[in-house]
Structure 1
Amino acid sequence: MTLDLGSSPRRRFLSLTGAAAGLAIAGTLPGITASTASGVEKEDLRGYPFTLGVAAGDPLPDAVVIWTRLALDPLAPFGGMAARPVAVRWQVAEDERFRTIVRSGVAVARREASHSVHVDVRGLRPWRHYYYRFLVGGQVSPVGRMRTAPAPWQSPASLAFAFASCQAYWDGFYTAYRDLAAHDHDVVFHLGDYLYEIGVGTDAGVRRQPVPDEFARETVTLDEYRGRYALYKSDPDLQAAHASAAWIVTMDDHEVENNWAGPISQDDAPRDEFLVRRANAFRAWWEHMPVRAAQSPSGPDIRLYRRFQYGTLARFNLLDTRQYRDDQAAGDGTKAPNPGSLDPNRTITGKEQERWLLDGMAQRSARWEVLAHQTAIAQLDTKAGPEVLVPMDTWDGYVASRKRILGGAAERGVRNLVSIAGDLHRSVVSELRPDYADDASPVVGTEFVGTSISSAGDGEDLDEGGRTILAENPHVKFGNFQRGYVRCEVDRARWVSDFRVVDRVTVPGGTVTSRARFAVEDRDPTVHTV
C-alpha cells in the first residue's frame, strides 16, 4: 500500500500513533489517574466531549471507579481532540440533581491515554447508591448511577445483578442493553468479547451505518483498537446500560484476537509480533473500561483476575482464562477427548491463578461462591450418538483444570458454587461435576451460561446444535439460541436466574421477554424451573 506522507493531518496522526504504540509496549500510563490538574488550563471545548458516555466500575464498600473519555468526533483519530491535556471536573452526589455532593475533584485527560479519565473515588459509604458526572467548561456529561458494595460483615437481604457478553457490533442492535438499563441492578458483570477485532465492514453490517474505511480491517494497532472501542461505546443503549449501574468487567478472546492462548496467536503470528498486538489491545481496553490502576497493563501483561465481596451473601471470583492458559489441545476446534485435553499438567487458568482461587475458596466467606468468567466449565458433547466431540477452547479442552477447581471447591466445603459465563452465543444451564467420565461424580455446583448481546444475529429458540447438546448431556437442563442477557436475584435461601431474550436484533426496536427462570436452593446445586 502506498501512503501519502506529506504534511497532512494524516501524517501527523501516523506520527502520533507511533508514539502511542511505544507507550503501550512500555506499559506507561501517564496522568490518567491524576486527581489534580495543576498547570492544566481549563477550557471550553468547541463541541460536546462526552459522546462516549460515562461508566462506573469495580465497586468496593467505600470506593468505586468512575470513567469517561473525551471525544468530540468519536471515530476520528484521537477522538477529534487536540493534543493538549484537558482538566475534567468530577462530582459524586447522593442525589441525581447533585444537591448533596459528597466527593469532587479535578482529573486530567491526556492525549496519550485517549483523553480517558479514571477516578478511584474513595471515602464512600457501604451499600449506598450514588450519582456521578463530569464537567468540562460549560459541558456536562450524562449522569451515571452506581452502588457501592456492602461492608464485609454486612448481610444484605438480597442482591440483584445482571451479566452479559459477546456484542458484535455488525451482527445486531443492543436492544438487550436497553432492557438491562430499565431494571434496577446492584451491579453488572461483562464476561468478555466487549468488542470484536474483526472488521465491521464499511456499513457496519445490519446497522447500515457508514464508518471510515479502516474499520473494515481487523484491529492490530493501538489506534485501530481505540477506534473500535469508540464505535462500540457510541451506541446509546450500551451507554444507558453503563450509566444504570456499576460494571465489573473482564475480557475474553476477541478483545485481542479470536481464540488466542497465552502468548500464542490463533493465526500463528510470530510470538514477539503477537505480544505487541496484545499490548496494544490491553492498552485500549484499559483506556475504555472503568477499572482501577491495579488493572492497568504493563506492556503485554495485565492483571484481570480479582475478587468482589458482597457482604456475607456472595463473593465473586472474576477469572482470566485467556492470558495464562496452555494452547488449545489437538489444534483447537471440536474434537474427541484426547491426550492433550486430558493431560493432567495442562491448565486454563495458570498455576498462580488456580492457587489464588482455591486458597480463596478455603476462606468460605460468603454463602454463594461465584466464578465469573469467560466460557463453559460443563462438558458439552456436540455430537449425536455414542461418539463424544467437545470444544477444545472451553474447559472441555482442559479437563484437569475442571477436576482441580470443582473437586477443590467440594474438598474445601464451599456451600454453594455457581459459575456464570458467556462466549457460546447460546444460553446453557448445567449441573457441574468434577469428572463427567465418572457416573458417580457428584454434582458440586451450578452453571449459567448467558447468550450473546448481538453476536450471531437473531438466532432461534433452539437450533439443531442446541437440541444435540440437550440430548447428549444429561447434566444440561436448558438451552436457547436467541440473543439477550441474564438477570439474577440472590438471597440467603436461593438464587434465581432469569434469561432475558430478544425476538430480533437485526432491526432496531426488538421485544425483550423472559424466556425461562431457574432457581438453585441453598445447599442444593441442582436446578429447577420457577
Structure 2
Amino acid sequence: MFLRTASVAAGSAAAVAAAVSPNAEASPKNSVFAHSVASGDPLPDRVILWTRVTPEARATPGSGFGSPTTVRWEVSPGPRFDHIVSAGLFTTSVERDHTVKVDAAGLQPATRYFYRFTVADGPLAGATSPVGRTKTAPALSSDVDKLRFAVCSCANYEAGHFISYRAIADRDDLDFVMHLGDYTYEYETGGYPGKFGEVVRQTAPVHATVTVDDYRVRQGKYHQDPDLARAHAAHPFICIWDDHESADNSYRDGAENHKELTQGSWSARKRASDKAYFEWMPVRPNSIDNGEHLYRRFRFGDLAELIIPDLRSYRDKQSYLAVDDPNHSITGTTQYTWLETSITTSSTQWQVIGNEVMMVPLVIPETTDPRVADWLHHQIGLPADGITLNNDQWDGYQAERRKLLHAIDTAGKKSVVLVTGDIHSSWASEIPLSAPHYGKDSDGRVVACEFTPPSITAASGFDSLALTSALAAPAAAAMSIAQQAITTVNPWIKDVELTTHGFGVMTVDKARAQMDWYYVDDVTNPQSGVRRAFGWYTRAGHPKLLRA
C-alpha cells in the first residue's frame, strides 16, 4: 500500500501460507521450529524477527529442558534467498524459553522481505524454519498515498477456531496486522467458554496461568495454531497487550481475576506474564526509568502516525466512585504526557491511536438537557458525560478522557481516529467533546472517530447469554433490543453489533480513513467462511462518520 513499495514475487502470499500449513508443521524438518516464525514492529530500516527452537523432544515451552542453541537468521528480497541483505547469529537457551528475537537492521524502507532461521550448531545443524514474509515501514519523510492494515483482538483458544487469522493470512494487500490485546487468555480449561457454554478445543496448561512457565506453555499452545502461525508468517504484527495476557481487568496494583491467597503476589504474576510476553511476541520494548514499557509509536511517511498507549500497566484501580476524579488515571502521569504530546505534535496527516479499551462514552444520560447535565455535574458531582456502564474502559476515567479530547481539539487535530479492541463486539462511533452537548451546540462537537472490530473468538454479548442452544433465540432478541437502545440513548454511537466474531481492515489514504468489518459465520466450525459485513469512514479534516 505504501507509495513506491517494492514489488513482491507472484504468489508470495500463497508460498508463505504453504510454508506454515498444518502439514508442513508436522514434518520432521519443521519439528525443530514447531512454533513457526513471526515478525513485527516495522521501522524504515529494520524489523523484529522471531522464532522458537525445540532442541530436543522434551524441550517444550516452559519445560526448562534443552541445550543452548545457535541459529542463523537471514533476510532476502525473494523467497529463494538468492540474495541475503541482512543476517546474523543468535544463541538461545532455557533462560528465554528457547525463543529467538532479533532486530534485523540494514533494510530498505517500504519493502517486502522474506526471512528464515537455520540451526547453526549441534546435532540439529542445518534444520531450517518455515519462511516468513515481512515489510518495512516507509521512510519518515516519504510521500505515502495509502496504508492498509488488519485490526484484531481477543482470541480465546477454547471458545473457537482462529478463522479470522486464516482470512488475514490469505490477504496480500496488508502492510501489517494491528493486534490490540488479549492475544492469550489466562483462564483454566472451561473457565471462560464460548457460545452455548462449550469448550471447542482445550488449551494448555489446563490450570490458570500464574507462573512464567505457565504463561510460556499458554503462548506455545497459541503459536502452534496453524491459522495464527500462518498470519504471523504472512505479515508483520504490531501488538499491544490488554488484560488477559496477565489476568482479567488488571490495573497497576492488581487484577479482578487474581487471588493473592492462592496465586501469590500480583507483582510476581505480572512480571511472569511480561517476561513470557516479551519472549514470545515480536515486539520491540522501549526502555524508560530502567524498565521496559510497551507504549510506542510508528510513523508511516507523511500520511499517518500510529500511537499505541498501554492502558493496563499504569492505570488506577477501576472504581465507579472515581470516574470523574481528575486524579484518576487510565494512563499514569508519565504516559499521559507522552500520549497527549504524541497526538498534538504529530506532523502526519492522520493520527491513529491503537486503543485497547473503548473510548466512546457508553452511558445512561442523566438528562436530555445539556444545561441540566452541566448543573448536575458541577453542583451535585454526577459524572459529566453520564452514568457509566463499564468502568474498565475510558468511561471509568472520564476526567482524563475530557482532558485528552480538549488537548486534541485545542491543537486543531481533526484527523484523529481510534482503532479499539476488548469489547468483543462491533462499534462505529463519533467521540464528542461533551456527550450531553452532542448535536446541540459547539461544546458537543466531534473530536475523533472510533472503529471497534469484534473479537476473534472471545465471548460476545450473544455468547454470554446463549448458555445453551435453547437460549439462542431469546439471546438474539435481547441483542437486537440492546443494539437499538444503545444507539438511541448514545446517538454518537452510529453502529453496534453484539453477536458476531471477526476482524477489521483499516484503510487510510489522503482523503479518508475507512474500517471494513469482516465476520466469521461460525467460529465453532473450523471450515467456516468469512464475509465482509459493512464499513464506515471519516474524511480527513472532518471528524464525522459516514457509511461506506
The two structures share one fold, judged by TM-score above 0.5: yes
Aligned to 1:254: 244
Aligned to 2:277: 285
- Aligned AA for 2:539? E
Cα deviation, residue 254, structure 1 = 0.5
Distance 1:297 1:207 in 2: 43
Q: Contact conserved, 1:175 with 1:502, CA < 8 A, in 2?
A: yes
Q: 1:124 to 1:390 in 2, by over 3 A?
A: same
- Aligned AA for 1:194? Y
1:374 maps onto 2:356 in alignment: yes
Q: Contact conserved, 1:166 with 1:455, CA < 8 A, in 2?
A: yes
Distance 1:227 1:283 in 2: 13
Cα deviation, residue 201, structure 1 = 4.2
Aligned to 1:217: 207
Q: 1:442 to 1:149 in 2, by over 3 A?
A: same
Task: Select which of 250, 264, 280 maps to 2:254.
Answer: 264
Aligned to 2:346: 364
Task: Select which of 155, 162, 175 maps to 2:143.
Answer: 155
Aligned to 2:518: 500
Task: Select which of 123, 126, 131 maps to 2:114.
Answer: 131
Q: 1:501 to 1:268 in 2, by over 3 A?
A: closer
Gaps of 5+ in 2: 1-27, 120-124, 369-385, 464-475
Describe the SS at the equivalent of 2:402.
Answer: helix
Aligned to 1:467: 484
Distance 2:186 2:192 in 1: 16
Deviates more, 1:367-376 or 1:201-210: 201-210
Describe the SS at the equivalent of 1:66.
Answer: strand
Describe the SS at the equivalent of 1:223.
Answer: helix
Aligned to 1:522: 540
Q: Contact conserved, 2:62 with 2:216, CA < 8 A, in 1?
A: no
Cα deviation, residue 364, structure 1 = 2.9
Task: Select which of 84, 94, 100 maps to 1:111.
Answer: 94
Task: Select which of 227, 234, 242 maps to 1:237.
Answer: 227
Aligned to 2:45: 62
Q: Contact conserved, 1:51 with 1:72, CA < 8 A, in 2?
A: no
Distance 2:203 2:147 in 1: 40
Describe the SS at the equivalent of 1:420.
Answer: strand
Query: Could you list the per-position Cα deviations for residues 382-419 of structure 1 after superposition, in whole angstroms to 9, with x for gaps in the alignment?
Result: 79998944210010000011111111111112130001
1:442 maps onto 2:445 in alignment: yes
Distance 2:203 2:430 in 1: 44
Aligned to 1:303: 293
Q: Contact conserved, 2:159 with 2:201, CA < 8 A, in 1?
A: no
Distance 1:135 1:217 in 2: 34
Aligned to 2:432: 433
Aligned to 1:98: 81
Describe the SS at the equivalent of 1:500.
Answer: strand
Q: Contact conserved, 1:47 with 1:72, CA < 8 A, in 2?
A: no
Distance 2:401 2:288 in 1: 29
Describe the SS at the equivalent of 1:240.
Answer: helix
Query: Could you list the per-position Cα deviations for residues 6-49 of structure 1 after superposition, in whole angstroms to 9, with x for gaps in the alignment?
Result: xxxxxxxxxxxxxxxxxxxxxxxxxxxxxxxxxxxxxxx99722
Q: 1:346 to 1:152 in 2, by over 3 A?
A: same
Q: Contact conserved, 1:78 with 1:111, CA < 8 A, in 2?
A: no
Cα deviation, residue 230, structure 1 = 0.7
Distance 2:159 2:481 in 1: 20
- Aligned AA for 2:114? Y
Distance 1:362 1:211 in 2: 43
Gaps of 5+ in 1: 1-44, 331-338
Cα deviation, residue 83, structure 1 = 3.0
Taking structure 2 as the reference length, what is the TM-score of the superposition?
0.81
Deviates more, 1:180-189 or 1:267-276: 267-276
Query: Could you list the per-position Cα deviations for residues 438-463 of structure 1 after superposition, in whole angstroms to 9, with x for gaps in the alignment?
Result: 34321011000121000016857954
Query: Could you list the per-position Cα deviations for residues 46-85 of structure 1 after superposition, in whole angstroms to 9, with x for gaps in the alignment?
Result: 9722111111011001010100112378997546684311
Q: 1:503 to 1:76 in 2, by over 3 A?
A: farther
Q: 1:104 to 1:470 in 2, by over 3 A?
A: same
Aligned to 1:325: 315
Aligned to 2:408: 409
Q: 1:437 to 1:53 in 2, by over 3 A?
A: same
- Aligned AA for 1:254? H
1:455 maps onto 2:458 in alignment: yes
Cα deviation, residue 467, structure 1 = 3.2
Cα RMSD, aligned residues only: 2.7
Q: 1:280 to 1:228 in 2, by over 3 A?
A: same
Q: 1:79 to 1:142 in 2, by over 3 A?
A: farther
Taking structure 1 as the reference length, what is the TM-score of the superposition?
0.84
Q: Contact conserved, 1:385 with 1:472, CA < 8 A, in 2?
A: no
- Aligned AA for 1:84? S
Q: 1:361 to 1:47 in 2, by over 3 A?
A: closer
